[in-house]
Structure 1
Amino acid sequence: MSATLSLAAVLAESARKYPRKIAVVDGEQRVTYETLWREALTCAASLRERGVRPGDRVAVQIPNVVDFPRVYFGALALGAVVVPVHLLLTADEVAYTLRDSDARLLICHPSQAVTGQAAAELAGVPVIAPADLLGAEPLPTYASRAPEDAAVVLYTSGTTGEPKGAVLTHLNLVMNTVVNVFDANDARSSDVVLGCLPLFHTFGQTVGMNGTFRLGATLVMLARFTGDAALDVMVRENVTVFHGVPTMYVALLAAAEGRAQLPQLRLCISGGAALPLAVLEKFNAAFGTNIFEGYGLSETSPTATTNQPHFGTRAGTVGHAIWGVEVEIARPEIEERVELLPAGTLGEIVIRGHNVFAGYLNRPDDTAQAVVDGWFRSGDLGTKDADGFITIVDRKKDLVIRGGFNVYPREVEEAVARHPAVMQVAVIGVPDSVHGEEICAVVVRDPAVPLSEDELIEWSKERLGRHKYPRRVHFVEELPLGPSHKVLKRELRRSFS
């Protein structure tokens, strides 16, 4: 008999171990592990009655509310494959996801009904509300799956062409969940975790939701993140663990000013994009805690590296590879093979191990370009020092070439972010007739601190090399953010080029 493994076991085992413990807080709702698992098995039975079979793909368009884990683990318990849908997509974009994934149906929360219904009609698939799945007799247990079977298909943002579905297996996601909570950081079953990262996104789903459930801890849902809303919920629910992307840490810092009471955070994890050192230092001082920065992608389940207590931490780095995963630096200009570089050399980050995805759905050519010699090519530039710490320099596609010199936006952002009037900054390259590209800083400034474009340029000139400092500065009210709260540099390039 072949081995079996299911991501559904993450919730099933905690329901067995902590049946009466609160698994999810969603507003006034308090749902125990026992109840959540029974409801997931009920959803599984209802999906089976509707003709869904193991291996079928089920699209899920649900915000950060308790319906998401009910449906997510219900589909997994049936042996189906979950296709989470970004909530900010248009109906046409959702329909593309439904068609490309060959989804059997769309489970759509009422808050998304207008877009979901239109998309389902375009794609020719049925649409169901989560509440409609709670009327059946629950299945007795979850379906067995092979470790290499698909569990989740995550669609990439599509910055370089059509979005692609990254196929993640049960082995990928179970291992990433277990290693994250039991090896990579000091997580505890007594923790209360804020679930503000979108659950349709890999960070919020694996590190946040699945990690919390594997521990038997409590997940506090926040459907719409703002700094003030997050602080209010964290104080009210005694949250001890926060997972976020850099823009969320910036928002929390702004919201914390003048507050008499702040949450007592024990553990903070940052990922999704590089965290400016200035933000890390200010947050540590304001909240009296440390941020452990990590790194990963949808294709790596997501975590590949993180600062880990047993290796020591190093600010400005994303730490070491997690257990069972190798992370190295390769020559970025060689695409047909992976040629590793020595310590301290700048190159492309490559990853191999239990976390690397099974490939892009129905796209063998794209998969062959992404996985070379067994290594996943991340498209990110970085270094690995003699002690094994990985530092992210930038995305290859974000590199700015000014007058023949390579300029890495993150380095410029780190310097500009230290100006006392700068709240957020994103650096891009814009076309220039003389230098090919020019350095442009798009800045959200503190309205209480006077600052002009010329003043910021002169300030930066004193702190950066002559080819690096921004010659152009644009002040904006806010930076454009994607569904996972990452800054959309492609939008900035369109606006200011």
Structure 2
Amino acid sequence: MPGLPGPPCGGRPAMTGGATLSAAHVLGESARQWPGAVALVADGTRLTYGALWQDALRHAAALRGQGVGPGDRLALLLSNTARFPKAYYGALALGATVVPVNALLRTAEITYILRHSGARALLCEGSLLPEGEPAARAAGVPLLTVAAPGRSPSLDELAARCPPLDTAVPRAPDDIAVVLYTSGTTGRPKGVMISHLNLMMNIDTTMLAPFAMRPDDVVLGCLPLFHTFGQVCVMGTGLRAGARLVLMPRFDAHAALDLMTAERCTVLMGVPTMYVALLQAVRDGGRRPALDRAYCGGSALPARVLEDFEAVFGCPVHEGYGLTEASPCVAYNLPGRPRVPGTVGHPIRGVEVRIARPGTAERIEVLAAGETGEIVVRGHNVMAGYLDDPAATRAAVV
């Protein structure tokens, strides 16, 4: 491929040797290093890294008791509460693959994901049972619950009584950590397979730049954790760095301003509509937290909104680009380099980006500077493929 020496864009050689890697250690290593530091503020409580990791290992043991094992796929239908990281890292510690399900989906859409993913079980929050329970029944998938008093089996109650696993189950770097379903705007959603290597490399790389996460950071978790932006960029990099994650069950601009002020948040990550809403909330008399930096993704942020936000909140806003298939970060306006509003900056470390001629399915023809084409990406972030869809994988990964 011109301009990109080596294997074709996205090409991945087969893994060999005895290396192991588990994304569960995003939390586990931080618990070892900062056991007494507060990891999570959610549900009116504060959990230290040590306590959160032990809860995750208890969830792993409880899941094992319900027949979930290494390599099984566990679907999570959970909102932004402490239950999400407990179940997420518990499943990863068990060696299972996590299938986060959009909490806004309806029964038929959830049913499709359960069937297509071959989920071993669905873990569903009590408030989401009206959609989740009939979906599990239709898909023939066992249902586990959390925060659902009187319902059995209740994973949170089982976990409270279980001795924790001793440690995370080892996995190979190319084992699949998560399957993330795309929005399905052009057809049925596709299951994007993200390996432990994909996930760990994206978290470790972006924790340093662009996010520059530190143990003294306090990060607002207002993005949904079932989505890759909130799951990897907010939860993953925050917990990896030993920062404090402050979760909001649902974004509300006035409540977010109050929460960021009360918890002294230093980092905000959001989508453009959140920035617009926060600016309006300040104009309406809302409090202004002392943020250190902010990051925007998901879609283009209007330059005027970026300039107004920086003026009102007194912190830089870094724009970036990513996609589910890239684990997700591809490029960002990086610290230490000039930021250009309306652009997505430079590729993150270890990732190459070119503009190629569109419509060439079997080869990549890189275009000259200034020409318009489609984005091609190569690096540690490129997905393992689409679950049970070799045709779509061949079309996307050349």
TM-score normalized with structure 1 length: 0.74
Please give the alpha-carbon distance, in whole angstroms, between the structure 2 residues aligned to 1:132 and 1:357: 35
Which moves more between the two structures, 206-215 or 27-36? 27-36
Match of 1:265 in 2: 291
The one-letter amino acid of 1:349's match is I
Residue by residue over 1:465-489, the C-alpha shift from the partner in whole angstroms, topping out at 9 and shown as x without a partner, is: xxxxxxxxxxxxxxxxxxxxxxxxx
Of 62, 65, 80, the match for 1:46? 62
Check conservation: 2:206, 2:212, Cα contact below 8 A: no
Note the residue ranges of structure 2 that are not aligned, 5 or more in a row: 1-16, 147-155
Structural mapping, 1:22-41, within 5 Å: 22-41=38-57
Of 232, 253, 269, the match for 1:243? 269
Structure 1 moving runs of 4+ over 6 Å: none
Structural mapping, 1:345-360, within 5 Å: 345-360=371-386
Match of 1:79 in 2: 95
Note the residue ranges of structure 1 that are not aligned, 5 or more in a row: 373-497
Match of 1:4 in 2: 20
- 1:308 deviates by 0.4
- The answer on 1:142 being equivalent to 2:142 is no
Please give the alpha-carbon distance, in whole angstroms, between the structure 2 residues aligned to 1:155 and 1:327: 24
Residue by residue over 1:411-462, the C-alpha shift from the partner in whole angstroms, topping out at 9 and shown as x without a partner, is: xxxxxxxxxxxxxxxxxxxxxxxxxxxxxxxxxxxxxxxxxxxxxxxxxxxx
Check conservation: 2:198, 2:327, Cα contact below 8 A: yes
Match of 1:394 in 2: none
% same residue = 53
The one-letter amino acid of 1:66's match is A
- The answer on 1:168 being equivalent to 2:194 is yes
Query: Matched residue of 2:209: which SS?
Result: helix
The alignment yields a C-alpha RMSD, in angstroms, of: 1.1
Match of 1:128 in 2: 144
Number of aligned residue pairs: 372
Based on CA coordinates, which of the two structures has the bigger radius of gyration? 1
- 1:282 deviates by 1.0
The one-letter amino acid of 1:353's match is G
Match of 1:91 in 2: 107
- 1:258 deviates by 4.0
Check conservation: 2:213, 2:243, Cα contact below 8 A: no
- The answer on 1:57 being equivalent to 2:73 is yes
Please give the alpha-carbon distance, in whole angstroms, between the structure 2 residues aligned to 1:42 and 1:110: 20
Which moves more between the two structures, 334-343 or 253-262? 253-262
Of 290, 294, 297, the match for 2:320? 294
Match of 2:184 in 1: 158
Match of 1:218 in 2: 244
- The answer on 1:304 being equivalent to 2:333 is no
Residue by residue over 1:198-241, the C-alpha shift from the partner in whole angstroms, topping out at 9 and shown as x without a partner, is: 00000000000011000000000001101111111111111110
TM-score normalized with structure 2 length: 0.92
Of 120, 130, 133, the match for 1:117? 133
The one-letter amino acid of 2:238's match is T
Residue by residue over 1:35-81, the C-alpha shift from the partner in whole angstroms, topping out at 9 and shown as x without a partner, is: 00001000101111111111100000110000000000000000000
Query: Matched residue of 2:343: which SS?
Result: coil
> Higher relative contact order by CA 8 Å / sep ≥ 6: 1 or 2?
2
Please give the alpha-carbon distance, in whole angstroms, between the structure 1 residues aligned to 2:112 and 2:360: 33
Check conservation: 2:220, 2:245, Cα contact below 8 A: yes
Residue by residue over 1:262-305, the C-alpha shift from the partner in whole angstroms, topping out at 9 and shown as x without a partner, is: 10110101001111111111111111111000100000000000
Match of 2:9 in 1: none
Q: Relative to total residues, which structure has the larger strand share, 1 or 2?
A: 1
